[in-house]
Copies of this chain bind each other. A is one copy, B any other.
Amino acid sequence: MSDAFDALFAPQSVALVGASDDASRIGGRPLRYLREGGFKGRVLPVNPKRETVQGLQAYAAIADLPEVPDTAILALPASATLKAVEDCAARGVKSAMIFSAGFAETGAEGEALQARLTATAREAGMRLLGPNCLGVFNPALGYYGTFSVILDTALIAPGPVGIVSQSGAYGAHIAHLARNRGLGISQWITTGNEADIDVAEALSHMVRQPDTRVVMAYAEGVRDRDLFIDALETARQLHKPIVFMKTGRSAVGAAAAASHTAALAGSDGVFDAVLRQYGVHRAATTAEQIDVAYAAASGRFPAGDKVGIFTMSGGFGIQLADDAEAAGLDVSPMPEAAQKELLALLPYAAPRNPVDATAQAVSDLDVLKACVRPMMAQGGYDVFTAILGTGPGSKTYADPLRKALMEALAGHEDRIRALTMSAPVEAVRRYEADGFLVYEDGSALAHALGALAKFRRAFERPASAPAPMAPLALPQGPLSEAGAKALLRQAGLRFADEELAATSDAAVAAADRLGYPVVAKICSPDIAHKTEIGGVAVNLKDAQAVRAATEAILARANAKAPDARIEGVLIAPMVQGGVETIVGVTRDPVLGPVVMFGLGGIFVEVLKDVTFRAAPFDVPEAHRMIREIRGFPLLEGARGAEPADIDALARLLSDLSRFAAAHRDGVIGIDLNPVRVLPKGQGVIALDALIELEAS
């Protein structure tokens, strides 16, 4: 991260090019906000037509500025922007942000113009934000390099939430919602068309800021894969949750994303898997994004998954229990002894969990305390939740209720405490000041608590540490099955012993050595789909069958693919049993080499039951990957079958990911299909291998 990049957020001096005296205009708003925010740095308006702008001395041109500013805010029409960037570059300005639209998002002409911005800046070593962005702000410094209208009514308080958004409008929207929720913001950046700085770099900066405890991010796609993954992993290691809104998941959305920015959207399923891989929470809705960020902003995570629910209404208790289970939390019952004690004291209560004190607790706060104390002392709950309904909305009741809860929870400050309630904002803030997370909606609360638990699990994981693989010299041109297997064997993958036979005599000799029954397959770098030309014969039980099959296969190959280079016929032992799976490598246009895994047959073809991981990854990560598919019970031994060798499968996936990462430039794709996962202890066998290499 360069100083120039950091200067975007904390300049000592800033030029506002296109500064307007009218504080409601795009060139006027930033100045107004900087002054209202009490920004301590020097602000240098540039406007050739005025002596002063909003009371500050103005300069006619960038060349006339009395000093070289750390950053320049360009509030100019698109047509005037290139000139301004050139002037900044000439003057040695370190960074500039461009508000104007009218560049790559408008078509070829705009793209060319944007490319010239980038080239000019790169040549001068200047960093660019935008164009078509809403800029940055840093409330702790009163630095508002933006014209966003959400600051019209009020500025933003400093706080633990960092916001990184490709879309300016979206970034402004979630800043506005965060403010409404009482959340302060550490830094805020919108990247727009990303002529230079992209979401990945902005994220990488944001997660490293000491005053950022949680990041809300928005992107339609990313450009710099390595920086992006590094940012995600850095956040994980620093225990900083990222709550991500990724759009473009539908076909229409993806089409719109492509027309909106030049970002390649990548496959949404791959993006989704990578976020999961690095412990990022992907929000499905904006409301969810705010709800989860709010919970995570405290920087505290539950030590375990156990949730105790206190309620004064049975119906609400059931609903929250449903929601908590759906969120992956453990609504475990109170210990029997504690239930008995509680019942002896309050015979009408439901003591299990949810602990239902009934409406009695509304009128008698001692009843509430009598329920909550044993929940904390004996229940072993990592999270305490209470359903307070509209009670805290009452002026007379809100404070006594809060104090009763605080008394009952005393000594258990290490637990997460959360409430559902409906009350005026001042009452909510008092509960929050006492350490409660406050939600109006129980399912939003449960979902956010589930996200906290998942963050904790992701943070606790050691970093995935796949041993790096030394790149191999890749052969030229396409590879046959035997060639593909030979290459992958060098990389440590194991296949069945098999032999390449050029003639039917050699095939019979090979089969004799390998043992019957065997399979015979045409072996040619030019025949990728062997069955289509009748190039495969299975279950050959004796020499005669092998001889006949080999001759027939060679004859068919000659007839149907006369130009193919034939290496011979591959003779392999017939492998049966185990669970059929598919393993592959694909090079995602955005996220680079990714490993795919799925069960074979209908699982892949009908149910699309596959999952992905960015390569490389280690064996524990492969285990998590395997467990994501819906058909996983089949590998565990559903339907009375033996459990499969999941350990060997995980090793295969990790090894393949290391190979894919080491050869990310040369390997376009790999198919291992099928891979049979044999019973536990017997390993995995890839029965076929296909590698597509980059033409060199």
Using a CB–CB cutoff of 8 Å, the interface residues on chain A facing chain B are 101-102, 105-106, 149-150, 152-153, 165-170, 172-173, 176-177, 218, 220, 245, 247-253, 255-257, 259-261, 284-287, 312-319, 321-326, 331, 347-348, 350, 352-354, 356, 358-359, 389-391, 393-394, 422, 441-444, 602, 605-607, 630-631, 633-634, 638-639
B170–A315 CB distance below 8 A: yes
A253–B325 CB distance below 8 A: yes
B639–A253 CB distance below 8 A: no
Residue ID in chain B nearest A149 by CB atoms? B390
Alpha-carbon gap, A390 to B106, bound state (A): 25
Alpha-carbon gap, A621 to B245, bound state (A): 38
B322–A247 CB distance below 8 A: yes
A167-B314, A315-B247, A441-B286 are contacts. A634–B602 as well, Cβ < 8 Å? yes
Residue ID in chain B nearest A220 by CB atoms? B318
B390–A172 CB distance below 8 A: yes
Least CB distance, A476 to chain B, in whole angstroms: 36
Least CB distance, A243 to chain B, in whole angstroms: 15
A315–B356 CB distance below 8 A: no
A315–B634 CB distance below 8 A: no
B358–A101 CB distance below 8 A: yes
A257–B318 CB distance below 8 A: yes
Report how many copies the assembly holds. Answer: 2
**Residues of B contacting A255 with CB < 8 Å?**
352
**Residues of B contacting A325 with CB < 8 Å?**
250-253
Alpha-carbon gap, A169 to B387, bound state (A): 11
Of B218, B249, B444, which contacts A285 at CB under 8 A? B444
Alpha-carbon gap, A255 to B322, bound state (A): 11
A248–B318 CB distance below 8 A: yes
Alpha-carbon gap, A102 to B269, bound state (A): 53
**Residues of B contacting A169 with CB < 8 Å?**
312-313, 315-316, 359, 389
Residue ID in chain B nearest A354 by CB atoms? B256
Least CB distance, A646 to chain B, in whole angstroms: 16
Least CB distance, A595 to chain B, in whole angstroms: 23
Alpha-carbon gap, A319 to B169, bound state (A): 12
Alpha-carbon gap, A317 to B169, bound state (A): 10
Least CB distance, A131 to chain B, in whole angstroms: 13
A249-B322, A260-B356, A602-B634 are contacts. A170–B350 as well, Cβ < 8 Å? no
B150–A319 CB distance below 8 A: no
Of B252, B287, B321, which contacts A256 at CB under 8 A? B321
Alpha-carbon gap, A630 to B609, bound state (A): 11
Q: A167-B313, A253-B319, A253-B321 are in contact. List 4 more A-B contacts (CB 8 A).
A: A165-B315, A168-B315, A218-B315, A605-B638
Alpha-carbon gap, A350 to B107, bound state (A): 11
**Residues of B contacting A634 with CB < 8 Å?**
602, 606
Least CB distance, A554 to chain B, in whole angstroms: 27
